[in-house]
Structure 1
Amino acid sequence: MPEALGAALAAPGLAWLILVFLAGGLVRGFTGFGTALIVMPVAGRFLPPAEAIVLLTVSGMLTWLAIVPRAWAEADRREVGVLAAGAVMAAPLGVWLLSVLDPAPVRWVVAVAATVTLAALVSGWRYRGRVAWPGLGGVGASAGVLGGLTGLTGPPVVLFYLAGPGRAAQVRANTILFLAILDIGIVANLLARDMVTGRALGLGALLALPYVATILIGQRLFTPEREGFYRAAAYGIIGAAILSGLPLFD
């Protein structure tokens, strides 16, 4: 572990990684999502895609005690279970694509997926219908493939929930619980393909503390009646991260 932490402290762009994790934790604390949309575009400038995904996933797993118990109590666990089952079964396909594709196109996939997600959220698009269980499994499967390839585990499910009529508190809890389960599936597949490096593990451990601190701050700030303000702040932070991480600006 000391060697892994030493490699983490010498990682390129460490100051930027700390900054985006602070922002990502704050946004996740009051919305339940957003960390990957903020972290992955920027982390991809400094780290190979697989390392960036491991960093994001490991740091997220180290924060579970701070966010998962409350989410477990408030979530619709049956619905989350269907979403998570589809995601975990599909995650190996995303990780396989990550293992065979060059880093450059993966970074563009991250940028495009994050931009499309942000545009859909900002547009205020709403789906008023009801999705049956097979449809929920399909939403989860798309999140599994995208998460395994890019680390963006949230967009399909976030769009599904935020485009619907669900209560803000339950949407937030469902999203947190789903992302925690999918993290396990992605890490297991990365380990199976020997894509987990000591530097990524060290970075995950190093950044988990400031990340969980800002998650707790975000949780304290969260009140459902101010949902509009929180969403606007999250969109602005996500947009800035996407722009800063575009490969065009390398």
Structure 2
Amino acid sequence: MPEALTSALQTPGLVWLAVAYGIAGLVRGFTGFGTALIVMPVAALLLPVPVAILLLSVTGFASWPSMLPRALRNADKRQVAVLAGAALITMPLGMWALSVLPRDLLRWLVSIAAAVTLLALITGWRYRGRVGWPGLGAIGGTAGVLGGATGLTGPPVILFYLAGPSGAEAVRANTILFLAALEVGIIANLFARDLVTIDALWLGLVLALPYVLGITIGQALFDPARERTFRALAYIVIGLAILTGLPLFD
């Protein structure tokens, strides 16, 4: 067994990380989002924030075979391309913040960003009017900065889609495709700035197992007719993850 894999299996709190990833996979398999909202508050408590962000992207790769084909068929590819392109441009700014800000401050940012997103989702916030290409660029750019600094790339884009007129299938497909596009950029930026080491990839591979299992179950459960019930459960899980990750409870 490689030494790096042995070290990954001895990671403090590995059981809790695996549980978080399993639940996150279940939620993402059904809704198309939610991984970072569930995982990051917990992972940031147990690991350095850059490593926690890397794990999100590594495990995200494992979800591609089961999730991308369906998403590619149903997503608005031109719109997602604008959002993802803007996010990749601004991501280095968030990575710079990640490299200079204190760990506890980053944990607070993770929890606050997740909590604001959850509140908007629960209250059913909606916008009126049509968002043009400049607006899409601004949303994507915000997602890039936030994702680079905290790993929470999805919230601005998730809110944009859920607050608009798109149905569950379209929201699911667009967010899956957007997050997949950014996973490559996140990994490249983390290694380019020497914020993580290659050994952390082994931990990502270990956590990919419960994550993919959760996704498989979540996709099997996906049914637009049951969307309201499942989203309610997802919101409860996200809220518990946020509370767990607050620096107040160290």
Instruction: Provide Cα deviations, 1:183-217, integer angstroms capped at 9, x if missing partner.
Output: 11111111111222244211100011211111011
Q: Distance in 2 between matches of 1:72 and 1:4?
A: 35
Report sequence identity in percent: 64
Q: Does the aligned pair in 2 maintain the 1:128–1:165 contact within 8 Å?
A: no
Q: Distance in 1 between matches of 2:33 and 2:195?
A: 25
Question: In structure 1, what is the equivalent of residue 8 of structure 2?
Answer: 8
Q: Distance in 1 between matches of 2:249 and 2:219?
A: 34
Q: Does the aligned pair in 1 maintain the 2:27–2:218 contact within 8 Å?
A: yes
What residue identity is the alignment partner of 1:229? Answer: T
Moved more, 177-186 or 2-11: 2-11
Moved more, 113-122 or 4-13: 4-13
Instruction: Provide Cα deviations, 1:88-125, integer angstroms capped at 9, x if missing partner.
Output: 10111111110111111000000100000000100111
Q: Distance in 1 between matches of 2:106 and 2:4?
A: 25
Instruction: Provide Cα deviations, 1:38-60, integer angstroms capped at 9, x if missing partner.
Output: 00000111101001111111111
Q: Does 1:230 align with 2:230?
A: yes
Q: Does the aligned pair in 2 maintain the 1:4–1:198 contact within 8 Å?
A: no
Question: In structure 2, what is the equivalent of residue 81 of structure 1?
Answer: 81
What residue identity is the alignment partner of 2:13? Answer: G
Aligned residues: 250
What residue identity is the alignment partner of 1:95? Answer: M
SS at match of 1:62: helix
Instruction: Provide Cα deviations, 1:156-208, integer angstroms capped at 9, x if missing partner.
Output: 00011101110110110000000000111111111111222244211100011
What residue identity is the alignment partner of 1:243? Answer: L
1:1-250 correspondence to structure 2 within 5 Å: 2-250=2-250
Q: Distance in 2 between matches of 1:2 and 1:101?
A: 33
- CA shift at 1:3, angstroms? 2.3
Q: Does the aligned pair in 1 maintain the 2:191–2:197 contact within 8 Å?
A: no
Q: Distance in 2 between matches of 1:50 and 1:34?
A: 19
Structure 1 alignment gaps of length 5 or more? none
Q: Does the aligned pair in 1 maintain the 2:19–2:210 contact within 8 Å?
A: no
What residue identity is the alignment partner of 1:100? Answer: V
Q: Distance in 1 between matches of 2:66 and 2:197?
A: 25
SS at match of 2:153: coil
What residue identity is the alignment partner of 2:229? Answer: F
- CA shift at 1:4, angstroms? 2.1
Q: Distance in 2 between matches of 1:199 and 1:211?
A: 19
Q: Distance in 1 between matches of 2:100 and 2:146?
A: 15
The runs of at least 4 aligned residues of structure 1 exceeding 4 Å deviation read: none
